[in-house]
Amino acid sequence: MNSDHLLQGLKERDPRAVAKAISLVENGDPLADSILASLDESLIDQALVLGITGPPGAGKSTLTNQIISYFRSQGKRIGVIAIDPSSPISGGAILGDRIRMMQHALDNDVVVRSMATRGRLGGLCAATGAAVRIMASSGCSHIIIETVGVGQSEMDIIRLADITALVLAPGLGDDIQAMKAGLLEVADLLVVNKADCAGAETLAMDMEAVARERREKNEGVIEVCMTVASEGKGIKDMLHVVAKIDEEYRQSGEIMKRRMKSHDLEVLDWAVELIKPKFLKMIAESDTSRKGDPRMKAVEILKKL
Amino acid sequence: MNSDHLLQGLKERDPRAVAKAISLVENGDPLADSILASLDESLIDQALVLGITGPPGAGKSTLTNQIISYFRSQGKRIGVIAIDPSSPISGGAILGDRIRMMQHALDNDVVVRSMATRGRLGGLCAATGAAVRIMASSGCSHIIIETVGVGQSEMDIIRLADITALVLAPGLGDDIQAMKAGLLEVADLLVVNKADCAGAETLAMDMEAVARERREKNEGVIEVCMTVASEGKGIKDMLHVVAKIDEEYRQSGEIMKRRMKSHDLEVLDWAVELIKPKFLKMIAESDTSRKGDPRMKAVEILKKL
């Protein structure tokens, strides 16, 4: 398949073309360049990129599935990128990640991609950004990036989203709740899932207080929603709020501002990704003893560039 | 405080000198160079770097505290580096991370450092490596790197350890258990904590099966331990196993091999860290529209290097 065929496939909304194009990017295939350079910028501009994050056990996957179903009932074409904290050695994706979208597996208008973290030292942000662009170019008007809200790279990835929903649930335990700390400061939407469980009201009140405080600091339209994702409850209301935030942020220029920031992040991540092989070669050639201060060696390598 | 004073402070095992030196590295202070280049390589070689990782809720912090107590009862000086999935905006460490070591707060021979992930795009591996070297140089014979076992960067950090213990507990739920997948392949020690809880025996049997399989593949000395960290049970046995693995790995050259690998990783991470400001400057200068394919722009930037 050459790049013209692939671009044609994207235009025709062929899910296999999407998968193939993303794989080319991930594998550093030379074809990737011409594909990425020929995507439909207007479709990319229009797409809504929704980040779904939160601690393990909050019900992100169930919620994502319900969101897909709702958007599909409105005839929308959906992209889903699941960031997968998988094995650094086997590179295998977690089984659950692969099967959880089975409900939509036969739907050609639900394009799912697991991005394995695969022990790469970087490039996840770059690759995810490229996947978003490819999906949007193939007509996905709504793209969901789902990631567990811990870890440095996962945080960076959330910055690729136009709007971010933090999913929480009552009774997750102290150290899990602590993980949400950073995300509370970047999320636009605070979703209290498992709203039928004990402690949900208290959690919602806490989240309301956070939202109020952030609104007072003019940090944006911060809203709290309650859902029972396993029963599909609250999904429609939540997505109305997402649509409202999207509209406000597009009018105020906030979406544009965020995209400019994420664009710079992606360029940086690509630059780093593309220079690493050169660095690795220089490290291998520079020294066989591997003794002494790593920082000094890095300084020497940069001097030789 | 100049670098001679700081190096003297490290030699005299002053915890404030350790804290100051690590901060200089984290802040990219020019003084950091001369400190890192003058550390005691022989102490660094001798130190044992133990990685403690595992999913949230497994009891890593409690276990770490017990390990510290045990080593202290043997008169050893301990360094602890807690990798903290903290806020990308405030940069604040999670309160729990700060207070959980309180038990040892007045002990000058327990040097604790929280490394906030602080929304930096990288450099966590480099900074953690530097912290290990600084602590070892100040006489810490045992250095613990504690990190939640999810996320790409956290995985890389575990590679800085000589020996890694994966802490698990029964009843953590499916998606949390799934996170351990990658870590099962890199850990030397599989610790079943909360061994007095229902399901511990089954978990231990599963882990024994994993350990057996990996031993048969000659992946090293893989051992299973059972602990009840909250009651201090099983800690001594666990640390005997750690000492045994350490001895075997030192004799076989495995520790040396791992350190050479992590040395290269650290050099790479420093090189990336040090070139980023240059990239960011070039990105800012290159284009004000922030439209088009990020990868192409990165390629252009590299051409101009």
Query: Is A93 near chain B, with CB under 8 Å?
Result: no
Confidence of residue A179 (pLDDT cuts 50, 70, 90): low
* Eight-state DSSP code of residue B114: E
Least confident of A4-13, A167-176, B272-281: A167-176
- The mean pLDDT of chain A is 85
Confirm whether B250 is domain-assigned. yes
pLDDT, tens digit (0-9, with 9 covering 90-100), for A260-280:
999 998 999 999 989 999 999
pLDDT, tens digit (0-9, with 9 covering 90-100), for B63-122:
999 999 999 999 999 999 988 655 333 333 444 444 455 667 778 899 988 887 655 545
Domain boundary among B214, B229, B254: B254
**A16 and A153 housed in the same domain:** no
Instruction: With CB atoms and an 8 Å threshold, state whether B301 touches A271.
Output: yes
Which residue from B154, B156, B259 is facing A121, i.e. has the nearest CB? Answer: B156
pLDDT of residue B298: 92
Which residue from A95, A270, A290 is facing B298, i.e. has the nearest CB? Answer: A270
**A20 and A62 housed in the same domain:** no
Confirm whether B214 is domain-assigned. yes
Instruction: With CB atoms and an 8 Å threshold, state whether B178 touches A95.
Output: yes
Confirm whether B283 is domain-assigned. no
Instruction: Please tell me the pTM assigned to this model.
Output: 0.81
The dihedral sign for the CA sequence A108, A110, A114, A115? positive
**A19 and A71 housed in the same domain:** no
**A181 and A199 housed in the same domain:** yes
Is a pLDDT exceeding 90 seen at residue B35?
Answer: yes
Q: Which of A85, A135, A147 is nearest to A110 (CA)?
A: A135
Contact criterion met (CB below 8 Å) for B56 and A179: yes
Contact criterion met (CB below 8 Å) for A91 and A117: no
Interface subset of B 116-175, CB within 8 angstroms of A: 117, 119-122, 124, 126, 129-130, 133, 148, 150-156, 173-175
Q: What is the CATH number of the domain that holds A182?
A: 3.40.50.300
The strand ranges marked E within B85-219 are 110-116, 142-148, 163-168, 189-192
**A145 and A230 housed in the same domain:** yes
pLDDT of residue B61: 85
- Cα(B104)–Cα(B129) distance, integer angstroms: 23
Q: Distances in Å between the alpha carbon of A163 and those of A48, A211, A242, B62?
A: 8, 15, 8, 37
Is a pLDDT exceeding 70 seen at residue A152?
Answer: no
Confirm whether B299 is domain-assigned. no
Q: Give the position of tokens 């017990």.
A: B66
Confirm whether B302 is domain-assigned. no
Instruction: With CB atoms and an 8 Å threshold, state whether B36 touches A89.
Output: no
Q: Which residue of A has its CA nearest to B152?
A: A117
Confidence of residue B183 (pLDDT cuts 50, 70, 90): confident
**B214 and B87 housed in the same domain:** yes
pLDDT of residue A181: 63
- Rounded to an integer, the average pLDDT of B30-45 is 92
pLDDT of residue A89: 34
Question: Edge-to-edge strand order for the sheet containing B78-84?
Answer: B110-116, B78-84, B142-148, B48-54, B163-168, B189-192, B223-226
* Eight-state DSSP code of residue A83: E
- Number of domains chain B contains: 2
Nearest-CA distance B110 → chain A (Å): 23
pLDDT of residue B154: 65
- Cα(A81)–Cα(A154) distance, integer angstroms: 12
Instruction: With CB atoms and an 8 Å threshold, state whether A266 touches B151.
Output: no
pLDDT of residue A87: 38
Select from B40, B155, B172, B269 the residue whose CB has the most chain A CBs within 10 Å, as the one to mutate to test that interface: B155
pLDDT, tens digit (0-9, with 9 covering 90-100), for A156-166:
778 899 999 99
Up-side HSE of residue B132: CA atoms within 13 Å toward CB?
32
Question: What's the CA angle centered on A252, arms A251 and A253, to 5 degrees?
Answer: 90
- Rounded to an integer, the average pLDDT of B254-265 is 92
Beta bridge partners of A115: A83
Confirm whether B282 is domain-assigned. no
Residues near B163 by Cβ (< 8 Å), separated by ≥ 6? B48, B49, B50, B51, B188, B189, B242, B245, B246, B249
- Cα(B194)–Cα(B196) distance, integer angstroms: 5
**A24 and A138 housed in the same domain:** no
Contact criterion met (CB below 8 Å) for A132 and A36: no
**A47 and A33 housed in the same domain:** no
**What percent of chain B has a predicted confidence (pLDDT) above 90?**
60
Cβ count within 10 A of residue B237: 12
Complex prediction ipTM? 0.83
Per the structure, the complete domain to which residue B31 belongs is given by 1-38
Interface subset of A 8-67, CB within 8 angstroms of B: 25, 32-33, 36-37, 39, 41, 55-57, 61
Least confident of A145-154, A185-194, A271-280, B266-275: A145-154
**A77 and A30 housed in the same domain:** no
How far the first Cα of chain B sits from its last, in Å, is 36
**A74 and A213 housed in the same domain:** yes
Q: In this structure, what token pair is assigned to residue B168? A: 């698990």
**B12 and B68 housed in the same domain:** no
Query: Is B198 near chain A, with CB under 8 Å?
Result: no
Q: Which residue of A has its CA nearest to B38?
A: A293
- Rounded to an integer, the average pLDDT of B30-44 is 92
**A108 and A84 housed in the same domain:** yes
pLDDT, tens digit (0-9, with 9 covering 90-100), for B105-123:
778 899 988 887 655 545 7
Instruction: With CB atoms and an 8 Å threshold, state whether B120 touches A152.
Output: yes
Q: In this structure, what token pair is assigned to residue B123? A: 């450099």
Confirm whether A279 is domain-assigned. no
Confirm whether A189 is domain-assigned. yes
Q: Distances in Å between the alpha carbon of B279 and those of A268, A273, B269, B272?
A: 7, 12, 15, 10
How far the first Cα of chain A sits from its last, in Å, is 37
